[in-house]
Each structure stands twice: as C-alpha cells, then as structure tokens.
Amino acid sequence: MSKCHIPLIERYRDRLPFAPGDPIVTLQEGSSPLLRAPVLSQMTGAEVRLKLEGANPTGSFKDRGMTCAVSAAVRDGAKAVICASTGNTAASSAAYAARAGITCAVIVPDGKIAAGKMAQTLMHGARVIALDGNFDHALALVRELTETHPIALVNSVNEFRIEGQKTAAFEILEDLEGDLDALFIPVGNAGNITAYWRGFTEMGASPRMFGLQAEGAAPLVLGHPVEHPETVASAIRIGNPARWEDAMDATTASRGSIRAVSDDEILAAYRLLASREGMFCEPASAASVAGLLKYGADGAERVVCVLTGRGLKDPETALENNDGVTIHCAAERAALEEAVLGDA
Ligand code: F0G
C-alpha cells in the first residue's frame, strides 16, 4: 500500500495518542497534495506551494481532526457527537459519525453556512440545529450542554482534533525538499494554526506562522472579541476564537503575526487561484493567499499557503464572483459560431 492510501492515524500512529487495537474510524483522510503555485511564485518572488486540504474525504482539513476525535469518542463508548460549526466541522463530524454508526447533532448559525456544507451534513443524516445566533453563541451553548450530557464535543477545544490536524505539518515537512520558511493560514476558531504549530514544533521546525483573519471578523488582530463578526468567508465568521492564547503563542514564538484581509482581497485571491492557478478553494481558504499577496513573503524563500477547503463547498459565492462568462445560445450552427468566436 502506498503511503497515500494509509489512513491518517495509521500513517502517524507513533505520534498520535492511539494504541494498537484501538477502534479507528477513518475515511482515508490526510496525505493531501502539496501543489506548486507558479503564478503566485512569480508574483511574490518566493517559492510558493499550496497545501490542498480540500482533497480530504469531506472536502476540508477538518477530517484530520475528526478521524481522531470520533475514534476517541467511540473508544470511550460515546453514542453521539455534537459540535458548533460554520459548516465544515458539521459536515465532517456528520460523515465520521455516520461511518461509526453513532448519532450527530450540529449547531450552526441559521442561514449563514454555505450550501454545499449544509447538503453534506444533511446527507450524512445529522440533526441540524439552525441557531438564531452566530458561531460564538453556538459554541458557548454547546460547551455548556456537554457539561451535563454524555455527548462527545468534537470542536477543536477537543485535544484529539488538534492532534489529528498537526499531521498536516508533518506532511509538509516530508514533502518539501529543504526548510519551510513561512506558513500562511486562515484563522477562525484558531484550532488549525494551533495544530500546525504543534506539528512543526514536534518535528523541530519553526517556520514563521502568518494567520489571516477577515477584516470584519478579526478579534486576534484587534485584541478584543468582535460581537457581530461579518465576512463573505462564512467559514471564518468568528468573533471570539476558543484557541485565542494558543494562536498568539504560535505567532509570537515563530516571529509571525495574525493579520487582516478585506473581503475584496479575499475574493480577488479566490478568483486568482481559480482562474490562474487552476485551484478552486472556498473563500475562507483564499484568505491565506490574500494575506501573502497583501503583505508579501517578508523575505521568506519557501512558503506554503494552506487551502483549507474545496471551492464546491460554497457554490453561491462562486456563482456571484467569477471571471467566467455564460453565453445563452440558440441550438443552431451560426449562433454557436458567434457564441464561441465572437466578442464575449
Ligand atoms: N478554513 C475553513 C474552510 C474553515 O472551515 C475554518 C473553520 C477555518 C479555515 C479556520 O480554522 O477555526 O481552526 O481557525 N471552520 C470551523 C467550522 C469553525 O465550524 O467548520 P480554525
């Protein structure tokens, strides 16, 4: 079996909190591609690569954490998992719960999660609670609820999530020839930047960590929670990240920073990635590249931008923001010729 077909927990068992014989719930996550980005490299003067986390089974990096969190929950006898989510954690927890044969409830901000994520979560048979509130309200409530009910909380406050997600850092170091100088990564609840930093640290690496938040949802940049976070990047529409201290520790220790990018900058990077690099990610993922383009590589030679989720997750935003054209055409040769060859 090539290493690409090995489930994440098996591939990194020596560095994860699982013993041989523990039940493993897997959809063959991890081992995602590290793609060269020639256009971004030319634009920035650095050697830029994209970590394609959308290649995971449910289309986002959450699967790395979820295989660990759900496996541990099953090991501990849990019959149900629960999470608050802006969409991807919901889809991932629903899929792994389905695979494990346990139930799943997700609390999402009503009307604020992308259509693809909602479709996935419902298809996997989860109970979706559409909350009249944002992600921060949902997480606070679900944390309270799990204090008094025996339901496993699978948000990134769960240590197994961080343990699983740190493996992306291992893969980057294995795939690169030479050192990594800087990592650009979108930040919402701040679990993923915490996980990468743990992974790098465990391997003795210390790339500069640049976390990117959307301007309208940038508590870590402002230094205080944001009561009404707003951004087109719905995945990172979060005003009070649970892993606040961990994220600040990672950026301070690595001489990096958390910075903000506007929705326009996010959408420009989103279109550029799709139309020039051939890589369609979701808007939140494009925040990493927006940050690289806005602030530059800052002297870093070898750079990785993490593309956290697939473009198909959010078809509405794609249909409203693209460089393509649709030409309606009669089913007739001359009309087709004009449509194909004429001025668009
Ligand atoms: N990118 C995507 C596509 C996400 O879905 C998220 C978080 C992030 C980046 C930020 O990661 O929270 O670890 O800092 N999504 C969570 C969810 C909050 O519920 O799906 P983070």
| Interval 40-90: pLDDT, tens | 999 999 999 999 999 999 999 999 999 999 999 999 999 999 999 999 999
pLDDT score for 213: 98
CA distances from 254 to 89, 171, 184, 246, 330 (A): 27, 19, 12, 12, 59
CB of residue 156 inside a 6 A radius of ligand 1? yes
pLDDT of residue 178: 84
- Which 3 state secondary structure label does DSSP give 82? strand
In this prediction the pTM is 0.97
Question: How far does CA 311 lie from the centroid of its chain?
Answer: 11
Series of mean pLDDT values for 10-residue runs along the chain (344 residues): 79 96 97 98 98 98 98 97 98 98 98 98 98 98 96 98 98 94 98 98 98 98 98 98 98 98 98 98 98 97 98 98 95 97 87
pLDDT at 343: 87
User: Which residue, judged by its Cα, is nearest atom 19 of ligand 1?
Assistant: 85
Q: Is the CB of 308 under 6 A from ligand 1?
A: yes
In angstroms, the Cα distances linking 57 to 188, 238, 298 are 21, 25, 34
Q: Is the CB of 86 under 6 A from ligand 1?
A: yes
Amino acid at 194: T
Q: Which atom of ligand 1 is nearest to the CA of 195?
A: 13
Q: Say what the pLDDT of residue 4 is.
A: 62
**Cβ of 211 below 6 Å from ligand 1:** no
The strand order across the sheet containing 302-307 reads 34-36, 47-52, 302-307, 182-186, 208-214, 257-261
